Structure 1
Amino acid sequence: MKSILKSDQFREKVRVKYHKDGFDKPTFEDTEIVYSEDHYHTKLRGVSFNGLKMTMREDSFEIPLKMEVEHDFHFLKLHFEMEGSSLYIPKNSGSTMVDIPGGHYNFFFLPKVKGELHYKPKYRRTLEIIFSENYINNYFQPILNKQFKEFARKMKDREPVLLFEKSRIIPNHMKDIIEQIIRCDFPNELKEVYFISKINELISNFLYEAAHSVESEVPNEIINAKEILKKEYDNPPTILLLSRRIGINQSKLKKDFKYHFNKTIYAFITETRMQIALLLIKRNQSSIAEISHHVGYKNPQHFTVAFKKYFGYLPSEQKRRNLLDSSS
């Protein structure tokens, strides 16, 4: 099993990490790694035992960080974004985007990971737990089958799935457990017992919160609104016209859309346009002006400004990267 990370901001450009014996080794391991680059610094502490790997990380960077990521194994993860933000944009069709703002968390399964990670400056602090499928089967498969049937079915059928359509705010009592884990400075002879007990406590609280959530399902009208915007991103209807098409008033539409998808309608349109624009630029078959028009910008300069604001670099820089990649 291995993970590949690529970024122009890495000194060595490509990092390959091997996961010897997967995550199912019974021995307890606690390791720490520090990376320092010109504009990027990270400190990783990894704890693994009995089918799971927990990573505590602190990142600081002066400019937005973008990296390509690829794993050659099924990816099942519980991710707490304490500070900062994390956005995964898949390159493979049929996958799903994972957006976790600061102070939020999510649980997701990706049968294939090949895409881009985007981090905004200046500071990130996270706790992430990757599970082996053996761990899930041995410890909480019955709960998944009973409480989260759709998640369990999709995971079994090797389909990408997020437990929450939009990432949830981390409850205070779970934050307390996470902080206790991160700050642990117990001596070696006690560390293993402490970590195992705290991780199990965190997972138990997560499952309880998820199973007893009182949040309602996303209303059909809001789902319809999202689908309309995804199809008509190049010329989206006004909020007034969209509200009439789905049959609810403007105020409720704006409020419910942001509540369920954790972003405004305008932000969703921008996000959709930028993702499609990036894909078109990488295909390298159209000019910036053509791509600008395709995603709904009449003025290419306005598109360039929006692209740089979203990704942190100009579309022309991505064009140059394409040329470098094709010549290497």
Structure 2
Amino acid sequence: MRLRLKKHGVEQYLHKNIIGEKLFSNSFIENSVQYYLLESAVKEGTVAVNGSIFPYKKIPFRKNFEMLVSSDCPVLKIHFSLEGGYCYESLKADEYVIDIPENHCNMIYLPTQEGKDIFSNENSKSFEIYVAHDYLQRLLCPEFKESCAKMNKAMTNLEACALWEKNRPISAQVSSKINEILQCPYEGHVRQSYLDGKLTTLLIDFLLGQQASKALKKNIKIPKSDYLALVKVEAYIRKNLKKSLNILDLADIAGFNATKLKRDFKRVYGITIFKHITALRMQEAKKMITEEGASIAQAAYEVGYANPQHFTAAFKRTMGYVPSQLK
């Protein structure tokens, strides 16, 4: 996958080109799975993408960062919007637009790519897993065909498709698995074996895990305005883990009463709102301790716990071990 500058009309864009024969070379799981982390930061006149600086003309009054994308082969990928929202927009008239908001994910099949990747924030972070079509069906057959019939049909007919009509939230457990992949501590053959295992687990959990299978079986029916309100609440929670988060304040943000918020949140996210808050806090604390060298007391304070002992008890209930084992 190459990044270079390319002119489109009178504008110059950063261009991502996906070459089929190179996509899975030196990749994982029988050379059938590849992953990429894309981090971008827009500043006046430039954009930094994974540490490389490119000239970039910012569109006035918009935070979006746009990048042209093309491929010479069909693309099947799972997209995780870790920071900022993501949109794929075809350059061909009357063709598909795929939106995945912040902290959500979906699987996308594109028979051909000639379009734009649009990131909604000046600072964005996305994790993508590209999967060879035949490998995915081998991995999960017959379960894949049963639970993902729509996607399977689209791939057969070479039609663009998203696995889920409504994007799914990224659970704390899935977020933890992504971090384990990105922070692989090994090299050489051990690294290959480690990542083969982690990627296989993440693929299975994404497609057939408890949260995904529940959502698919329930076929949740909820008004779009209510769904977007829940997304707004969940994003607020993630950005304010240090604060005291009570149900009445969160209900005000959603525009619901407390009962409706608790009911609909569990329907969409597959977990109660307070268990979700706790899981996010523990995952953030774990990240601070392991990656930033924070003490247990510091991590506890930053995720809303004034008492380290209360934090330790909550951490053990959620993670299954005490935070001191991370040191």
Taking a change above 3 Å as real, the CA distance of residues 14 and 102 of structure 1, as seen in their structure-2 partners, is closer
2:68 is matched by which residue type in structure 1? E
Work out the CA distance in 1 between the residues paired with 2:2 and 2:96.
Answer: 19
Deviation at 1:192, TM superposition (A): 0.8
1:212 is matched with which residue: 189, 211, 214? 214
Which residue of 225, 241, 248 corresponds with 1:258? 225
Alpha carbon RMSD of aligned pairs, Å? 3.2
Unaligned runs of 5+ in 2: 44-57, 59-63, 232-327
SS of the aligned residue for 2:180 comes to helix
Query: Equivalent residue of 2:152, what SS?
Result: helix
> What is the DSSP-based 3-state SS (H/G/I as helix, E as strand, rest coil) of the residue aligned with 1:57?
strand
* Counterpart secondary structure, 2:137: helix
Match of 2:146 in 1: 146
- Distance change >3 Å, CA 11–CA 115, structure 1 → 2: closer
Q: Give the conservation status (yes or no) of the 8 Å contact 1:78–1:106.
A: yes
What's the CA shift for 1:138? 2.2
SS of residue in 2 equivalent to 1:92: coil
Which letter maps to 1:90?
S
Query: How far off is 1:106 after superposition?
Result: 0.4
Q: Residue by residue, what CA displacement relative to the aligned partner does 1:155-200 show, whole Å, maximum 9, x if unpaired? A: 2111111111121110111111111111222233421111111111
Name stretches of at least 5 consecutive residues in structure 1 with no aligned partner: 30-46, 220-254, 265-328
Q: Displacement, 1:210? A: 2.3
TM-fit CA distance, 1:16: 4.5
Residue pairs, 1:308-327, within 5 angstroms: none
1:59 is the counterpart of 2:40: yes
Deviations 1:279-322 (A, max 9, x none): xxxxxxxxxxxxxxxxxxxxxxxxxxxxxxxxxxxxxxxxxxxx
Deviation of the 1:57 alpha carbon? 2.4
Residue 21 of structure 1, CA deviation: 4.8
Q: What SS does structure 2 have at the residue aligned with 1:203? A: helix
Say if 1:8 and 1:166 are closer, same or farther in 2 by CA, change over 3 A.
farther
Task: Identify the residue that residue 182 of structure 1 maps to in structure 2.
Answer: 182
Preserved contact between residue 60 and residue 122 of structure 1 (Cα < 8 Å)? yes
CA contact (8 A) 2:5 2:12 kept: no
Q: Structure 2: how far apart are the matches of 1:261 and 1:215?
A: 21
* Contact kept in structure 2, 1:79 and 1:129, CA below 8 Å: yes
Classify the secondary structure of the residue corresponding to 2:190: helix
Retained in 1: the 8 A contact 2:4–2:16?
Answer: yes
Note if contact 1:95-1:160 (Cα within 8 Å) is conserved in structure 2.
no
Number of matched pairs: 208
In the alignment, which residue of structure 1 is the partner of 2:250? none
Q: CA deviation at 1:67?
A: 2.1
CA distance in 2, matches of 1:144, 1:21: 26
One-letter amino acid of the structure 2 residue matched with residue 127 of structure 1: F
**Which secondary structure state, in structure 2, belongs to the residue aligned with residue 213 of structure 1?**
helix
**1:90-127, Cα deviation, whole Å (9 max, x unpaired):** 12256421111111100111112111221233222221
Classify the secondary structure of the residue corresponding to 1:134.
helix
Q: Partner of 1:199 in structure 2?
A: 199
1:281 corresponds to which residue? none
**What secondary structure is seen at the aligned counterpart in 1 of 2:142?**
helix
Q: 1:48 to 1:207 in 2, by over 3 A?
A: closer
State the 1:141 CA deviation: 4.0
Where do 1:79-118 residues align within 5 Å?
Answer: 79-93=79-93, 95-118=95-118
Matches within 5 A, 1:116-155: 116-155=116-155
CA contact (8 A) 1:56 1:126 kept: yes
Pairing 1:3-22 to 2, within 5 Å after superposition: 16=17, 18-22=19-23
Give the direction of change, closer, same or farther, for the CA distance of 1:11–1:113 in structure 2 (3 Å limit): closer
In the TM superposition, 1:238-257 aligns within 5 A as 256-257=223-224
Task: State TM-score, norm by structure 1.
Answer: 0.55
Counterpart residue identity of residue 60, structure 1: A
Q: Normalization by structure 2: what TM-score?
A: 0.55
What is the aligned partner in structure 2 of residue 313 from structure 1? none
% identical aligned pairs = 20
Q: Secondary structure at the match of 2:159?
A: coil
